[in-house]
Chains A and B, each alone.
Chain A
Amino acid sequence: MSVDTIAAGRDEPNRNRLWKWIAGLGLALIGWGFAYSQLVPFSEWLVSLFPVDRASHLGEALAFFIYDVPKVLLLLALIVFLTGVLRSWFSPEKTRAILAGNREILGYPLAALLGVLTPFCSCSSVPLFIGFLSAGIPLGVTFSFLIAGPMVGPVGLGLLFGLVGWQVALIYLVFGFSIAAVAGWVLGRMRLERYLQDWVRELNTGSVGEAPEERLDIVDRLKIGADQVREIVGKVWIWVVIGIAIGALIHGYVPEATMLRIMGGEAWWSVPAAVIVGVPMYTNAAGVIPIVEALLGKGAALGTTLAFMMSVIALSLPEMIILKQVLTYRLIAIFIAVVAAGILATGFLFNAII
């Protein structure tokens, strides 16, 4: 392709481009629907090819694995696409402008909400953090944003909806969101600015450059969605497969009585234990939800399972290492403690009422 055709791409009838995309997406959606509808017969057929008894432990585990892998990947692709398109209307720059204008208490829930909607990758959390602070956004509000981003991501919610059910997805959404808003507020009240790294404290506020905003048409947005599918599914599929394998082992081999004793609502210590196990564990939302599915299926208490899932997704070691560039160890410890307290409270609450 010569440079001139690239440059002329804008002028080429946009209508034509749009119709191509609509036709392509329509076909992809039909293919998706067909594949999704055939999941049960296809996986049962595939399992029957293996020389194992379907009712044995191994048979159960195998069936779980073979059914869940294509299902999760299909759901993941759809969710990532929709999220990518939706998020193309949001940007960190716009979010910063909105938050900088809201200094009052409303800033915390607003930051949590925008954390869910703004495109975010943990690799750029440091520039984002600095960008927010230099625009005069309070530290606590910035934390609300940074907690909500990974914790209440659309991938986790969508998979929870598809694999476990809408009730649990809704509970997760409401409580994840509340923890982000409240933990940000608590951290804000603690006046922790002195525990930022020195260079961050010395930054001048208000002196920020800004990239000009680019105009995107609907095809550009669809393309962003498709690029996201390629990039994210290409990156996380291995975590998905590992997560489903663990879920399959739990589903096939762990007796319900054992599960009830370890993760049942009766054992008060199961909630803190779930958090302690969950924090150092590193995977993404797509990898942990199949494990959650298997745990709940075996009778694990909802509060304990929620606590486990939240601590895996919201508090991860790699993210802390990235944040170490702007936060001191002391501030990181406080941050983890406050978020973990919110997760514990959620876990205890649900074990008590259900």
Chain B
Amino acid sequence: MKTVKVYGPGCKRCETTESMVKDTAAKLGIEVEVEKVTDPKSIAMAGIMSTPGISIDGKLVHAGGLPKEDALVTWLRGS
């Protein structure tokens, strides 16, 4: 079980990112718990300056723009 956090104030790209994470995890058969972080203070504290950002099990892997699908696969499989 991996904990994935998607950081973003609620723009369209952040929602797309969230569903991309869920879809990719489902395809890979990896169990994930996706949490959305929308509070600007928490986003800033995580060290993210451009949204959407993604962290997996507490490790920041992506910030700014939509993630690439193949990168998402690597992150979810890795570590």
Q: Give residues in A with beta carbon < 8 Å to B.
A: 2-3, 6-7, 9-10, 91-93, 96, 119, 121, 123-124, 126-132, 134, 199, 208-212, 214, 220, 224, 227, 231, 325-326
Interface of A is mostly: helix
Does the CB pair B9–A212 fall under 8 Å? no
What CA separation (Å) do A10 and B69 show in the bound complex? 10
> Of A2, A91, A132, which is within 8 A of B50 by CB?
A91
* CB pair A93 B63 closer than 8 Å: yes
B27 touching A210 by the CB < 8 A rule?
A: no
Partner of A209 from the list B10, B13, B28, B60 (CB cut-off 8 Å) is B60
Pick from B44, B51, B66: contact of A227, CB under 8 Å:
B66
Using a Cβ–Cβ cut-off of 8 Å, how many residues does chain B contribute to the interface with A?
Answer: 34
Determine whether the beta carbon of B69 is less than 8 Å from that of A126: no
* CB of A99, distance to nearest CB on chain B (Å): 12
* Residue of A whose beta carbon sits closest to that of B42: A127
Given contacts A2-B27, A6-B73, A7-B73, contact A127 B43 (CB under 8 A): yes
| Cross-interface CB contact of A127 among B40, B62, B65, cutoff 8 Å | B40
Task: Flag if A231 contacts B40 (CB, 8 Å).
Answer: no
The chain B residue sitting closest to A2, CB to CB, is B27
* Known A126-B43, A131-B48, A210-B60; 17 more pairs at CB < 8 Å: A3-B24, A3-B27, A92-B50, A119-B50, A119-B64, A121-B50, A124-B9, A124-B43, A124-B50, A127-B49, A131-B44, A209-B60, A211-B53, A211-B60, A211-B64, A325-B40, A326-B40
Q: Is the CB of B70 within 8 A of A126?
A: no
**Contact: A9 with B69, CB < 8 Å?**
yes
What is the CA–CA distance of A6 and B13 in the complex, to the nearest angstrom? 20
Interface SS of chain B: mixed
Residue of A whose beta carbon sits closest to that of B64 = A91
A–B complex contacts, Cβ < 8 Å, 28 sampled: A3-B24, A3-B73, A6-B73, A9-B70, A91-B64, A92-B50, A92-B64, A96-B49, A119-B50, A123-B9, A123-B51, A124-B49, A124-B51, A126-B9, A126-B44, A127-B50, A127-B51, A130-B44, A130-B45, A131-B44, A131-B47, A134-B44, A210-B47, A211-B60, A211-B64, A214-B71, A220-B68, A325-B41
Chain A nearest CB: distance from B11 CB in Å?
5
Residue of A10, A91, A130, A224 most packed against chain B (CB within 10 A): A130
Q: State whether A214 touches B62 (Cβ < 8 A).
A: yes
Residues of chain B contacted by A7 (CB below 8 angstroms): 70, 73-74
The residues of B that contact A211 with a CB separation of less than 8 Å are 47-48, 53, 60-64
- Given A119-B64, A123-B51, A126-B40, A209 contacting B73 (CB threshold 8 A): no
CB pair B70 A6 closer than 8 Å: yes
CB proximity to A under 8 Å, residues B9-44: 9-13, 24, 27-28, 40-41, 43-44
A181 and B41 alpha carbons, distance in the complex (Å)? 27
Give the docked Cα–Cα distance between A91 and B51 (Å). 11
B9, B27, B63, most chain A CB atoms within 10 A: B63
Enumerate chain A residues within 8 angstroms of B73, measured Cβ to Cβ: 3, 6-7
Closest 5 CB pairs of A and B: A209-B47, A130-B44, A131-B49, A211-B63, A126-B40
Closest to A11 in B: B70
Complex alpha-carbon distance, A3 and B72, angstroms: 11
Complex contact A231–B50 (CB within 8 A): no
A94 CB, nearest partner CB in chain B, Å: 10
Residues of the A chain whose Cβ atoms lie less than 8 Å from the Cβ of B61: 211-212
Do A224 and B65 form a contact, CB below 8 Å, given A3-B73, A6-B73, A231-B12? yes
